Amino acid sequence: MSDWVEACDAEDIDEEDVMRFDHDGRTFAIYRSPDDEYFATDGLCTHEKVHLADGLVMDDIIECPKHNGRFNYKTGAARGAPVCVNLRTYPVRIDAGKILIQIG
Amino acid sequence: MEATLSAMPSRRDYSLLGRDAKRAVETGLSAAEWYHTDVPRKQMKELMKREDGPAIRDTIIWLGALILSGAGGAWFWGTWWCVPFFFVYGVLYGSSTDSRWHECGHGTAFRTQWMNDAVYQIACFMIMRNPVTWRWSHTRHHTDTIIVGRDPEIAVMRPPDLLRVVLNVFGIVDAWHAMTDMVRNAAGIISPAEKTFIPEQEQPKAIRIARIWTAIYAATIALALTMGSFLPLMLVGLPRLYGAWHHVMTGLLQHGGLAENVIDHRLNSRTVYMNPISRFIYWNMNYHVEHHMFPMVPYHALPRLHELIKHDLPAPTPSILAGYCEMVPAFLRQLRNEDYFLKRALPPTAKPYREELHNDNHAVAAAAE
């Protein structure tokens, strides 16, 4: 369970923004919060499989670009219709300026 | 009259439980990947940015005008002077709420979520749309815009039922359905069609709201009977009828006469330039192609989005009148040939349509007639 995978440079993501990361046939969303912390979740909305990386980050919320469903990207919790199912989250760490996520 | 306004039985099955619904799912037409104009992420983030200011300003104007016009109507009740006041009140109650319901349902009008929720609930009551049912129906409308059998919000089905359209200028058919749906929901019944788009855990909320609304309308009717006056109903309920005309006028233009079963909003939606008053009432939903393509962009940023992507969109319709001049003849032609539709022409600067994705041979032939 130590499947740490290098995703991108930490500076590749703007503050209060999100970036898509595809790996081994899976897609993830990596977030940089307004207070400069990094988080990762599954990349597709649990409602209709839309890429969250095209959505809007506001504080600790990611809003889906298709139907405006909301998740707390720090916890994965569904926070607003039409999403009802939580997002899966993944541990993130920064190593030498690189973002690594554990995708076990 | 109906015989002159109706055509032969449709080959289309608009039922959410019908043949075309199943076919749309099987063929991948439902929940498909739709065309989007390329917009750099940085610019899109700017456009998507949420603010409270514009919607607070507009809501103060809206509610202030609603209260003043309603008070004026009540003050002059029994004289002809009440007519202009109720004219304004009716549009603010029975039409402005269509766009407030819509924008706040998307959660884009305000940055602060409780403000979206509060205006959403008020607007839903006035426009007589159950806030739970319609949130989910509108979600489907954005997933499967004008896909036959999948979209529960197709305003004019083919062949067009023009009698229904005319009656709805006064909200008659919609309000009737809203009332019967409210009473049915209040009795604890969710219809099979509603069950196709409202998740099970949300259904009790729809029932609870319907019961609250039924109580409000019952109290209003009781007050009118006690007073021996229509005035309470002129203020609550009836404005959904006498003030509906503006939202019907603008709403029909959204998709009327355009293509069905395509997965490119440039083909099935219409952007119309409108006067500032209509744009205030309609909260800029006249930029309808832009809204469908990027529903994350708040109403107040849609003019900027339009300027940014108009090179990739069909030429906007220059006015409401121009919209009706193209749409009404299309409706009349669809009475004889339901495959007929208005095919949008893209400018040379636009990325071309992917015909193979979103047209069937019948539709192409009909458009080329």
Pairing of strands A70-72, A78-80: antiparallel
Pairing of strands A17-23, A4-9: unpaired
pTM of the model: 0.89
Nearest CA-CA distance, residue A82 and chain B, Å: 7
Chain B contact set for A82 (CB, 8 A) = 135-136, 139
Mean pLDDT confidence for A83-102 = 94
According to the model, what pLDDT value does residue B188 have?
Answer: 96
Do the Cβ atoms of B155 and B106 come closer than 8 Å?
A: no
| CB contacts < 8 A (A, B) | 43
List phi, psi (to 5°) of B152. Answer: -80, 0
**Residue A71 structural domain:** 4-102
Nearest residue to A75 via CA among A66, A62, A84: A62
Interface of A with B (CB under 8 A): 17, 48-49, 54-56, 58, 63, 65-68, 70, 80-82, 84
Nearest CA-CA distance, residue B41 and chain A, Å: 8
> Amino acid identity of A19?
M
pLDDT in tens, B115-146: 999 999 999 999 999 999 998 889 899 999 99
Q: For the purposes of burial, counting CB atoms within 10 Å of the CB of B97, is it exposed (0-12), middle (13-18) or buried (19 or more)?
A: buried
pLDDT in tens, B223-234: 999 999 999 999
According to the model, what pLDDT value does residue B354 have?
Answer: 67
Number of H helices, E strands in chain B: 22, 0
Cβ contact, residue pair B296, A65, below 8 Å: yes
According to the model, what pLDDT value does residue A49 have?
Answer: 84
Mutate to test the interface with B, among A57, A68, A72 (most CBs of B within 10 A): A68
Average pLDDT, chain A: 93
Question: Dihedral (C-alpha) B231, B236, B237, B243: value to the nearest 10 degrees?
Answer: 90
HSE (CB half, 13 Å, CA atoms) of A70?
16
The DSSP line for B310-352 is GGGSPPPBS-HHHHHHHHHHHHHHHHH-TT--PPPPPPTTSPP
Do the Cβ atoms of B130 and B70 come closer than 8 Å?
A: no
CATH number of the domain where residue A29 is located: 2.102.10.10
Q: For the purposes of burial, counting CB atoms within 10 Å of the CB of A82, is it exposed (0-12), middle (13-18) or buried (19 or more)?
A: buried
- Both structure tokens of B103: 């924008």
Nearest residue to B258 via CA among B247, B245, B248, B269: B269
d(CA B142, CA B155): 14
Give the helix ranges, DSSP H, for B169-202: 172-186, 192-195
> Amino acid identity of B233?
L
Q: Give the rounded distance of the alpha carbon of B251 from its chain centre.
A: 5
Chain A contact set for B202 (CB, 8 A) = 81, 84
Cβ contact, residue pair B295, A67, below 8 Å: yes
Among the ranges given (A15-24, A39-48, B1-10, B267-276), the one the predictor scored with the smallest mean pLDDT: B1-10
Nearest CA-CA distance, residue B16 and chain A, Å: 18
According to the model, what pLDDT value does residue B31 have?
Answer: 84
Nearest chain A residue (CA) to B200: A84
According to the model, what pLDDT value does residue B3 have?
Answer: 31
Q: How confident is the model at residue A3 (pLDDT cuts 50, 70, 90)?
A: confident
Nearest CA-CA distance, residue B30 and chain A, Å: 11
ipTM of the complex: 0.85
Burial B353-364, CB ≥16 within 10 A → b, else e: beeeebbeeebe
d(CA A79, CA B221): 38
End-to-end Cα separation, chain A, in angstroms:
5
Question: How many structural domains are present in chain A?
Answer: 1
Contacts of B74 (CB under 8 A, 6+ apart): B82, B231, B235
Cβ contact, residue pair B296, A67, below 8 Å: no
State which residues of chain B have pLDDT below 50: 1-7, 357-369
Provide the greatest CA pair distance for chain A: 39
